[in-house]
Amino acid sequence: KRIISIPCTKPVNFDRKSYIINPYMLGILISEGNLTNGNVVYTTCETEVYNRINDQIDSSVYCIKTKNNIDHRVVKINRSSKNNIYKEELKKLNLWGKYSYEKHIPKIYKFGSIDQRIALLQGLMDGDGTVSKQGSISYCTTSYELAKDFSELIYSLGGTTKINTKIGS
């Protein structure tokens, strides 16, 4: 009996991009961000996620924990009439004002370098991903467009994926 298989591709090499919002943080903002009110806010109870974002953000802003210690606002260090660079960038990326079911991965982030796409994947997974005991990953979203973008990201990194639809219970 002959076994026939098709090997997975290797990660596709794209040029490194220059981003205002680093890919890991964008993954967190897509997964755990509240992008519909006046502030850039993300939710996490994991110190590691909070520290990683705080270490990577632009020097003009910082993360402030809210009273519940779960929501974190990205605010300007100095009060001024200048806009928050992250909020402005989210507007340019067509993510600002989007509810969970409307979110997507901006095209420019889907074509970053391998390490940039891995960082984006890490942010998405740290937000709404799970890993089974067997090591398989899953990502849950209410946005079909984001599910397709997530699959495209996985394929571009040499992985395989499928989209399952589950009707709410």
pTM to 2 decimal places: 0.91
Mean pLDDT by 10 residues, the chain (169 residues): 84 96 97 89 90 89 83 82 87 96 97 98 95 92 96 94 81
Identify residue 59 by its one-letter amino acid code: S
29 and 40 Cβ atoms separated by less than 8 Å: yes
Tell me whether strands 137-139 and 129-131 are parallel, antiparallel or unpaired.
antiparallel
DSSP-assigned beta bridge partners for residue 149: none
Of the candidates 8, 10, 9, 18, the residue with the CA atom closest to the CA atom of residue 116: 18
Give the pLDDT score at 169: 58
Give the pLDDT score at 165: 86
Give the pLDDT score at 28: 97
60 and 155 Cβ atoms separated by less than 8 Å: no
Q: What is d(CA 28, CA 34) in angstroms, rounded to the nearest whole number?
A: 10
Give the pLDDT score at 168: 67
